[in-house]
Structure formats: structure tokens, C-alpha cells
Amino acid sequence: MKEHCDHQVDCLKMIQLILDGEATDQQLARLKDNLVSCQPCIQMYHLEQEVKELLTKRMEKKCCPEQLVATIKSKILTFS
């Protein structure tokens, strides 16, 4: 198992795409192959997964007031 990853930035981008559900099948297969032998990427994957789960659980969805939505839409139409 590798102790150092030479492509950490690229791997992180791929991990984020996968966790966000935006990765292609090719990217998914590439990361799976990499996770078999790269300890830093395995750790990074688990950390990113935990952060995403924590943020998802902690974030509270709040609706905008209708007046704010109407004002924003009006301003957008003005600039169009």
C-alpha cells in the first residue's frame, strides 16, 4: 500500500465529485482502483465523506420570505 500520493489534488477533486454524485463512471472506476493501493486517498475519502455527512446533518434548511424572492426575481428581470 502506498504511503504517499503523488496526485492528491486530483484525487481530492475526484473524491468530491463522487461524494456529490457528479462523477462519471470512468472517474468512479479510476478512484476505486486507486483506493485499493493508496492509503492517503483512503483516508482522504473517509474524511471528506464524514465532513459531508456532518454538514448535511447540521445544515438547517430555511425558506426565504416571499417578498425577498419577489424582489430578487424583479431585479433579475430588470437586468435581462
What is the domain count for the chain? 1
Mean pLDDT of 7-16: 90
- Note the pLDDT of residue 3: 81
- Helix ranges (H only) for 25-65 are 25-37, 39-58
Residue at 1 is within a domain: no
Residue at 2 is within a domain: no
Is residue 18 within 8 A of residue 27, CB to CB? The reply is yes
Domain of 11 in residue numbering reads as 7-79
Task: Look over the chain and give the mean of its residue pLDDT values, rounded to a whole number.
Answer: 89
Packing angle between helix 8-19 and helix 25-37, nearest 10 degrees? 120
Mean pLDDT of 22-40: 90
Mean pLDDT of 12-41: 91
Residue at 23 is within a domain: yes
Residue at 70 is within a domain: yes
Residue at 39 is within a domain: yes
